[in-house]
Amino acid sequence: MRKHLVYRLFLSFVFVGTSSTLWSQEKTSEIILPEKVQKLLERKKELNLEQFNSQYYAIQLYYGDYNAVTEVLNKFKGDFPDWETELTFETPNYKVRVGRFKNLNIANQKLEEIRKVYPNAFILEPNNL
């Protein structure tokens, strides 16, 4: 009796093991998109990339008249020569902004480094640039 039970269990395992491969389906599908849809998807990817690249944190060092701002900008370039700097104008002030940080934590670390020389510096969030 026991031998008969072991034999049945063995056959059950063999059947279950082979049946999964016998009844399973294997088919790969290729989706063919119309050319216009493909172009729209490509354009959407480009727009998403542009938006991602335009969203960054920056540090504003100073704002004021052109002479004062250029003086701060030149001093900063001397103190931190490897940093990306930008001089912008928003009525009625010129502004000195530095860095392009995707991560707020890194921007905060860099701000602490800059505040040793420029104590009034602050972080600008992406939607405020």
**Domain limits at 82?**
58-128
Any idea what the CATH number is for the domain that residue 71 is in? 3.30.70
Cβ-proximal residues to 114 (8 Å cutoff; 6+ apart), any chain: 59, 61, 80, 98, 121
What percent of the chain is modeled with pLDDT above 70? 80
- Residue 111 located in a structural domain: yes
- Residue 100 located in a structural domain: yes
56 three-class SS: coil
Lookup: tokens for 24:
């399973």
Residues 40-49, mean pLDDT to the nearest whole number:
88
* Distance between CA atoms of residues 111 and 19, nearest Å: 64
- Residue 12 located in a structural domain: no
- Residue 39 located in a structural domain: no
Banded pLDDT at 60 (limits 50, 70, 90): very high
| C-alpha gyration radius of the chain | 32
- Residue 25 located in a structural domain: no
- Residue 68 located in a structural domain: yes
Residue 38: pLDDT over 70: yes
- Residue 88 located in a structural domain: yes
Number of structural domains (the chain) is 1
